[in-house]
Structure 1
Amino acid sequence: MFTSESEIMLTILVSTVLLLFFCGVVIYFLFKYQRKRYSHQQEVFELKESFNKILLNSKIQIQEQTLDHISKELHSNIGQLASLININLSELLHKTEEKEIVIETKALAKSLLSELKSISTALNTDYIMKVGFEKALKNELNRVSKTIKYPVNFNVKGNAFSLGPEKEIILFRLCQEVINNVIRYAQASEMNVNLDYDNDSIKLAIEDNGIGFDIDSVKKNREKNSSTGLLNIEKRAKVINANVNIVSKINYGTKVSLLISR
């Protein structure tokens, strides 16, 4: 009887050990499978992110080539035509009695030529690389301030440093996108641009006192309304690893803040 009970206890003990061993093996292989699956998903995600970044970089390069081509066309072709118009008007001035009209038209042609030159410069990638981001942004703000006829304040703090030509070109185009949105939609009476060099990073803020907008609503409906402004800003910021924050309140204006590391 004692022997039988011992055998039963031994059988139970061995069965328990075997069951625990089997459960441990199952848990081990499940853990290993989940880890391998997670690693695979991570690799797929990284490959997808890498592909999207390469694709976005290619699109930006194509855009830069297109803008550079437009810049040269404006300068060489349309600019020359505007110059010829001005020359012909000078000739006409000596042969007509309507001198005031000709003089006024000459002034308009001169303004057109000046504006074409400014736009050509703003689109020219080589120019941005040559003068650097800060000066290119200052020139762009000077150009648009003549068009919008309200104050554009540009404040710079800290010791300037370069982010490198590629980053600076993308950052400049991003700023152009924001400034263009302010001009087109904000209905503002003032714009403030603050550039702060802080050790190894740049803080940039573009703020207006316009009508503002509902950010959540715009993001939700941007595909439906074919709105690409915010999307372009986010995409360009992503390419240069910049943190972008957009704060807007209806009737209180909008502020776009960027933080970019070297």
Structure 2
Amino acid sequence: MDFNVETAAIFLSITITLLVLGVFIILFAFLFQRRQTQNRQDKAAMQAAFQQEILQTQLEVQNLTMQQLGRELHDNIGQLLSVLRLNLNVLEETVEDEGTRGQIAESNQIVEQTIADVRALTKSLDGDFVKDFGFIDSLSHELQRIRKTRRYQTEITTSGTPYSLGYQHEIVLFRIAQEVINNALKHAAATTLTVSVMYEPTNFEITIQDNGKGFDFEGVMKNGMSKSGAGLRNIQRRAELIGGKCTIDSQKGLGTTVTISIQRTQTGD
């Protein structure tokens, strides 16, 4: 009888020890797995923050470069054109031949138009223009500048009650819009640009559509080494930087539509 009790006690002790050991192993495995998951999340967060910091720096450098370029155009090219206009005015007054005077007057008009174009371009390059006049007026000015070339048709429509997105958001959106528009005119051979801006209580959305030749979006994005793919991914990353989402829809022969949407809670408003 004592032997059976002692055997049962030993068996119970072994069982309890195994149970405790099993619980310990399970708990250790759980904690280890959670630590591994946390490490991966921390690493991903650090990489995302690093990428965001790099992109933010790129945006700041781009904005400063554009502002510097705008000042150079205004201070150098603008002044040279003004001097040329004055010289043409003097020359027109001294020339007696009507035919020559007519040619000088025509050249003077071209210079006048060029001066106006340089001033308009200078404004579009200056980030302070967006700060002073707001996103919609700045974008309208950009489209008007393009339309004045008489080679393109542009249109902008807004819906809802406009509100401020905050300067940082608006300057990023404005630079993205400039790049999308430039791509449409330079690479897609577009002749018509339509921009729609929608202000909703909880969401902001801008859509830029062109009638250009379009492209195989999926094919371009799969080709990681292509310049076009890198440019499109950069546009999407810049939208993500301000908490937005950028979708691009394009097919060969059917033009391209770029849409950026931002939750209002993500903006600086």
Matched, 1:202 2:204: yes
Structure 1 residues 256 and 226: CA distance shift in structure 2, 3 A: closer
Matched, 1:39 2:38: yes
Query: Which aligned segments of 4 or more residues in structure 1 are displaced greater than 3 angstroms?
Result: 2-14, 224-228
SS of the equivalent of 1:159 reads coil
Q: Aligned partners of 1:187, 1:63: CA distance in 2, in Å? A: 25
Give the aligned partner of residue 237 of structure 2. 235
Give the aligned partner of residue 63 of structure 2. 64
Give the aligned partner of residue 174 of structure 2. 172
Matched, 1:82 2:81: yes
Letter in 2 for 1:194: S
Give the aligned partner of residue 254 of structure 2. 252
Q: Aligned partners of 1:168, 1:203: CA distance in 2, in Å? A: 12
Matched, 1:27 2:31: no
Q: Is the 8 A contact 1:177 1:229 kept in 2?
A: no
**Shift of residue 40 of structure 1?**
2.0
Q: Aligned partners of 1:241, 1:74: CA distance in 2, in Å? A: 34
Letter in 2 for 1:141: L
TM-superposition CA deviations, 1:43-78 (whole Å, max 9, x none): 222222222222221221121111111111111221
Q: Which runs of 5+ in 1 are unaligned?
A: none
Letter in 2 for 1:58: T
SS of the equivalent of 2:128 reads helix
Q: Which runs of 5+ in 2 are unaligned?
A: none
Q: Aligned partners of 1:200, 1:39: CA distance in 2, in Å? A: 32
TM-score by length of 2: 0.90
Letter in 1 for 2:155: N
TM-superposition CA deviations, 1:78-115 (whole Å, max 9, x none): 10110111111111113333223212211211121111
TM-score by length of 1: 0.92
Q: How does 1:97-246 map to 2 (within 5 A)?
A: 97=97, 98-147=100-149, 149-225=151-227, 228-246=230-248
Q: Is the 8 A contact 1:148 1:183 kept in 2?
A: no
SS of the equivalent of 2:149 reads helix
Q: Aligned partners of 1:220, 1:107: CA distance in 2, in Å? A: 49
Q: Is the 8 A contact 1:53 1:239 kept in 2?
A: yes
The more displaced of 125-134 and 44-53 is 44-53
TM-superposition CA deviations, 1:200-238 (whole Å, max 9, x none): 321110011222111122122252447543133112202
The more displaced of 124-133 and 46-55 is 46-55
Q: Is the 8 A contact 1:157 1:196 kept in 2?
A: yes
